[in-house]
């Protein structure tokens, strides 16, 4: 699989099956391979909070493999130090998945940990992960209070014992997260980009982004996601370090991306949390697709952090309802192409929105 695959929609089970059908993963595996699924169940909150991986993504992968005769599938996770993995499995809907498909749920907190070395540095990882032939990483596209974003690279932190998680924090997270990916190498990363939190790994301000992203290179996946969220790649240290130590390529305009079901872009549906509600004050929305609206929310959050929004009195138009309208202001996406200041894209990336919006807003103030 070259580059990245992106599928749009809001039905994760069907979407992930379609993605796997495109990738034809089963051709690379023998039927008795042990397949491990590593979701992000950092704490016991449902996927609708923006914190955790939708169980429907795991369900779609399991269905796909079981329909093709694979029987050694297991789900594995170790929630963060402050929560119980078992509680997270229950609250996040994974107990139901385990019963429905007869797959085990493994609590990595039960592992004592084994020592491994990478580039001369010692790390402790959960031994259960080493027993897997094919690890599929299922991170969430979301913000993080320390590392700005968390996705493929950081999700593997759930595969180390709690004592090591504490040590990672004492080391500042960036370097150990990157190095961990030199030891534990997930073969495929399937990102839950349906719903993820704006700024915080714990959820509470979910942003719909309406897509699932798949790739085999975690650096490529994360650098692509960083731009979707409005970051320049040099702002995300752990991704930068992972690239520098040879763990993958950074996303560029030349990266091949196969987009599936562009016509299925879902509409915005969720009730916004306080921060998203605050940012939506600068938006005129009319039938916007969630991948477009989500990009704008991420971009506005960055502009708010720069102090540009406070005194800005205008509104930004977005959505399919503006296709025929002339707008005397800023419009986002090709549906608002008749705006005075239009930022094209369908859907646009938050990084591009940040770059253009900051110039336009500064000029209009």
Residue 312, both tokens = 């800005």
Q: Does 294 bind ligand SF4 (CB under 6 A)?
A: no
Task: Give the 3-state secondary structure of residue 202.
Answer: coil
Q: Does 265 bind ligand SF4 (CB under 6 A)?
A: yes
Distance between CA atoms of residues 271 and 294, nearest Å: 13
**CB-based closest residue to ligand SF4:** 333
Q: Does 148 bind ligand SF4 (CB under 6 A)?
A: no
CB 60, min distance to ligand SF4, A: 23
Q: Does 292 bind ligand SF4 (CB under 6 A)?
A: yes
Q: Does 347 bind ligand SF4 (CB under 6 A)?
A: yes
Distance between CA atoms of residues 147 and 199, nearest Å: 10
Give the x/- contact pattern for ligand SF4 in 219-258, rule: CB under 6 A.
----------------------------------------
Q: Does 334 bind ligand SF4 (CB under 6 A)?
A: yes
Q: Does 319 bind ligand SF4 (CB under 6 A)?
A: yes
The residue from 42, 98, 129, 288 that contacts ligand SF4 (CB under 6 A) is 288
Contact 136, 186 (CB under 8 A): yes
Residue 165 has φ and ψ, to the nearest 5°, of -60, -45
Distance between CA atoms of residues 244 and 242, nearest Å: 6
Distance between CA atoms of residues 113 and 304, nearest Å: 42
Contact 75, 129 (CB under 8 A): no
CB 295, min distance to ligand SF4, A: 8
Q: Does 333 bind ligand SF4 (CB under 6 A)?
A: yes
* Residue pointed to by tokens 């005075």: 340
CB 337, min distance to ligand SF4, A: 9
How far lies 129's CA from each of 32, 255, 286, 329, in Å? 17, 30, 46, 53
Interaction site with ligand SF4 (CB under 6 A): 265, 288-289, 291-292, 319-320, 333-335, 346-347
């Amino acid at each position: 699989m070259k580059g990245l695959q992106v599928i749009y929609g809001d039905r994760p089970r069907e979407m992930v099956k379609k993605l796997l059908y495109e990738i034809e993963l089963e051709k690379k595996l023998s039927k008795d391979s042990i397949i491990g699924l590593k979701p992000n169940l950092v704490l016991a909150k449902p996927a609708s909070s923006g914190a955790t991986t939708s169980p429907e993504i795991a369900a779609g992968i399991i269905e796909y493999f079981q329909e093709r005769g694979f029987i050694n599938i297991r789900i594995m996770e170790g929630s963060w130090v402050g929560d119980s993995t078992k509680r997270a499995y229950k609250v996040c809907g994974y107990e139901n998945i385990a019963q429905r498909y007869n797959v085990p749920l493994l609590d990595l907190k039960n592992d004592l940990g084994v020592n491994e070395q990478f580039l001369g540095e010692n790390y402790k990882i959960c031994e259960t992960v080493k027993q897997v032939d094919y690890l599929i990483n299922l991170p969430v596209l979301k913000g993080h209070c320390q590392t700005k974003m968390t996705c493929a690279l950081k999700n593997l932190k759930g595969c180390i014992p709690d004592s090591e998680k504490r040590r990672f924090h004492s080391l500042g997270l960036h370097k150990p997260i990157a190095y961990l990916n030199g030891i534990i190498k997930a073969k495929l990363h399937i990102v839950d980009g349906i719903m993820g939190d704006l700024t915080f790994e714990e959820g509470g301000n979910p942003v719909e982004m309406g897509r699932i992203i798949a790739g085999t290179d975690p650096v490529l996946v994360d650098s692509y996601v960083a731009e979707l969220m409005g970051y320049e790649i040099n702002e995300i240290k752990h991704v930068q370090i992972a690239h520098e130590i040879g763990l993958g390529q950074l996303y560029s305009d030349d990266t091949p991306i196969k987009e599936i079901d562009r016509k299925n872009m879902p509409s915005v549906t969720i009730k916004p949390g306080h921060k998203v509600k605050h940012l939506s004050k600068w938006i005129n929305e009319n039938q916007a697709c969630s991948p477009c609206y989500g990009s704008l929310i991420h971009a506005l959050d960055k502009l708010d952090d720069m102090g540009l929004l406070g005194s800005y009195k205008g509104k930004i138009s977005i959505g399919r309802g503006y296709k025929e309208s002339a707008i005397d202001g800023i419009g986002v996406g090709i549906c608002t192409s008749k705006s005075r200041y239009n930022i094209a894209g369908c859907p646009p990336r938050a990084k591009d929105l940040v770059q253009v919006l900051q110039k336009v807003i500064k000029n209009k103030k």
